[in-house]
Amino acid sequence: MREMIKAKAIELLENGTVNRVLGWKAGEFFYDLTPGIFTSREEIEETFEYSVFSAANLSKYLIAESRKEGKIAVFLKPCDSYSFQQLLKEHRIWRDRVYVVGIACDGMCSMDVIRDKGITGVTAVEEDGENLKLTTLYGDKTIAKADALLERCVHCKSRKVVVFDEMIGENGEEIPDSHRFDMVEKLEAMTPEERFAFWRGELSRCIRCNACRNVCPACSCEKCVFDNDKSGIAQKAAASDFEENNFHIIRAFHVASRCTDCGECSRVCPQNIPLHLLNRKFIRDINELYGEYQAGSDMDTKPPLMNFTTDDCEPSVVYERGGKV
């Protein structure tokens, strides 16, 4: 896969299809890949990397990149392609300046997950079939890839690249029984007091670094309300519990019915807050109340929050369903 992708990147650059390639750059260790732009064969040969650590969703970079001269090639994993299409739908990316190479994906791993398993000091990683061989300061270790997967990949919703100019690897299918709402349901089954305690515990860790927002392809505002002093709700740091809640509620609401559930927010959170649960709560509610909807899966369907039917349920439905009392 890695070789095919690199070869494709070189091919597209050299045959003049594009003048830039957006991919992942090798870091200091095997696991710390950085999104990067490549403009030459040499660069690609030396530093382009694709591995189970190519988790970063590249689609958001295209908002800026597609406005630059010439065409850019981008590699999109299935979940990234949903974000890409949602951005297209919102007129944020100039499609004609992007050449999309879809790549089949079996799930991405996370160093955080590996560290969580007590493996530290990892200086090198090698993919070995279904396993990862780790060289650490404290001796060699092995971990199954499946045990190192990102949460979003454990509950992968789709292996289908929804928009591409060409595919590398075989395109997959949507996975309806991803169990991605299991945790949401578990929370819903709690009492409000328990839920409140759960979220306070999580959100009180927030350091308002904006990583979730800045990485989020749906949070593509020219100027975020939380940065805009005129909005009346601008904040630099959460100065109270309320502000912690407010930021995450409003952010989730702003991306509701636009969030593709790409999981980047939770991946990048330095405080390991399961932010995706908020988005999934909205997705689950939308699916249940207004019919199945997957943001980014097509170009035409109106996002549920910009749509209605005359016989929609009343807000009082929340008293009847929702969490147990």
Partner 1 sequence: MKKVFAADIYKVFAKVSQKSKLYIPADDGVSQARFLPYMEGMTLTEKLNTGRSAKDLFFPQVENLLKFKVSGKQIEIVDQRDEVESFVIFGVRACDCRSFDILDNVFLYDEPADTFYKTRRANGLVITLACNAPEETCFCTAFGIDPADPAGDITAWKMADAFYFRGNTDKGNALLAELELVEADEEAAHQQQEAIRAIAEKLPFGKLDLTGFDKEHLMEKFKDPRWAELSESCLGCGTCTFVCPTCQCYDIREFNNGKEIQRFRCWDSCMYSDFTMMAHGTNRPTQKERFRQRFMHKLVYYPSNYGGVYGCVGCGRCLQKCPVHTNIVKVAKTLGGENK
Partner 2 sequence: MQRIGVFVCWCGSNIAATVDVEAVANALAMEPGVVISTNYQYMCSQAGQEMIQNAIREHKLTGIVVCSCSPRMHEATFRKTAQQAGLNPYMVEIANIREQCSWVHKDKLTGTEKAIILGRAAIAKVHLNAPLTAGQSPVTKRALVIGGGIAGIQTALDIADAGFEVDIVEKKPTIGGKMSQIDKTFPTLDCAACILTPKMVDVAQNEKIKIYSYSEVEAVKGFVGNFHVTIRKKARYVDETKCTGCGLCTEKCPQKKVPNEFNLGLDTRRAIYIPFAQAIPKVATIDADYCSMLKSGKCGVCSKVCTAGAIDYKQTDQLIEQEYGAIVVATGFNPISMDKFDEFAYSKSPDVVTSLEYERLMNAAGPTGGTLLRPSDKTHPHTIVFVQCVGSRCDSSEKGKSYCSKICCMYTAKHAMLTREKYPDTEVYVFYIDVRTPGKNFDEFYRRAVEDYDVHYVKGMVGKVTPENGKLKVQASDLLGGRQMHIDADMVVLAAAIEPDKSARPLATMLTASMDTNDFFTEAHPKLRPVESPTAGIFLSGACQGPKDIPETVAQAGAAASKVIGLLAKDNLTCNPCVAKSDEMMCNGCSACEKVCPYGAITYMDKEFRGPNRTTLIRRVASVNPAVCQGCGACTVACPSGAMDLQGFSNSQIMAEVDAICK
Partner 3 sequence: MQVNETFTPTIVAFCCNWCSYAGADLSGTNRLNYPANVKIIRIPCSCRLNPMFILRAFQRGADGVILCGCHPGDCHYTTGNYYARRRMTLLFSMLDFLGIEKERTRVEWVSAAEGAKFAATMNEFVDTVTKLGKNKRLEDLRCAK
Residues in contact with partner 1 by the rule CB under 8 A? 25, 27-29, 32-37, 56, 61, 111-112, 115-116, 118, 120-123, 136-138, 201-202, 205, 207-211, 213-215, 227, 235-239, 264, 267-268, 270-272
Count the residues of the shown chain that bind partner 2, applying the rule CB under 8 A. Answer: 22
* Token pair for 303: 């996002």
* Under rule CB under 8 A, residue 305 binds partner 3: yes
Give Cα 133 to chain centroid, integer Å.
26
Among 256, 262, 275, 295, interactor with partner 3 by CB under 8 A: 256
* φ, ψ (nearest 5 deg) of residue 322: 65, -155
Residues 218-247 that bind partner 2 (CB under 8 A): 219-225, 228, 230-232
Distance of closest approach, residue 86 Cβ to partner 2, in angstroms: 10
Please state the three-class secondary structure of the chain as a single string.
CHHHHHHHHHHHHHCCCCCEEEEEECCCCCCCCEEEEECCHHHHHHHECCCCCCCCCCCCHHHHHCCCCCCEEEEECHHHHHHHHHHHHCCCCCHHHEEEEEECCCCCECHHHHHHCCCCCEEEEEEECCEEEEEECCEEEEEEHHHHECHHHHCCCECCCCCCCEEECCCCCECCCCCCCHHHHHHHCCCHHHHHHHHHHHHCCCCCCCHHHHHCCCCCCCCCCCCCHHHCCCCCCCCCHHHHHHHHHHHHHHHCCCCCCCCHHHHHCCCCCCCHHHHHHHHHHHHHHHCCCCCCCCCCCCCHHHCCCCCCCCCCHHHHCCCCC
Specify the amino acid at residue 233.
Answer: I
Binding of residue 303 to partner 2 (CB under 8 A) = yes
* Binding flag, residue 72, partner 2 (CB under 8 A): no
Q: Which of 3, 28, 91, 139 binds partner 2 (CB under 8 A)?
A: 91
Q: Is 195 exposed, middle or buried (0-12, 13-18, 19+ CB in 10 A)?
A: middle
282 touching partner 3, by CB under 8 A: yes
Decide whether 169 or 303 has the Cβ nearer to partner 2.
303
CB of 310 to partner 3, least distance (A): 6
Which of 145/254 has CB closer to partner 2? 254
| Smaller CB separation from partner 1, 17 or 39 | 39
Q: Residue for token digits 């070995």?
A: 128
255 binds, among partner 3, partner 2, partner 1, none (CB under 5 to 8 A by kind): partner 2
- Least Å distance, CB 182 to partner 3, is 15
Locate tokens 């405080």: which residue? Answer: 271
151-190 residues in contact with partner 3 (CB under 8 A) are 184, 187-188
Q: If binding is defined by CB under 8 A, does position 76 make contact with partner 2?
A: no
Instruction: Choose the one of partner 1, partner 3, partner 2, none that binds residue 220, judging by a C-beta under 5 to 8 angstroms depending on kind.
Output: partner 2
Tokens of 65: 């990149």
Stretch 15-74 residues interacting with partner 3 (CB under 8 A):
none
Choose one: 1-9, 26-34, 159-167, 312-320; the region binding partner 3 (CB under 8 A).
312-320
Nearest residue (CB) to partner 2, 92 versus 155: 92
Binding partner 3 (rule: CB under 8 A), the pick from 45, 196, 204, 236 is: 196
Q: Which residues bind partner 3 (CB under 8 A)?
A: 184, 187-188, 192-200, 225, 232-233, 239-243, 245-246, 249-250, 252-253, 256, 278, 281-282, 285-286, 289-290, 304-310, 312-319, 321-323
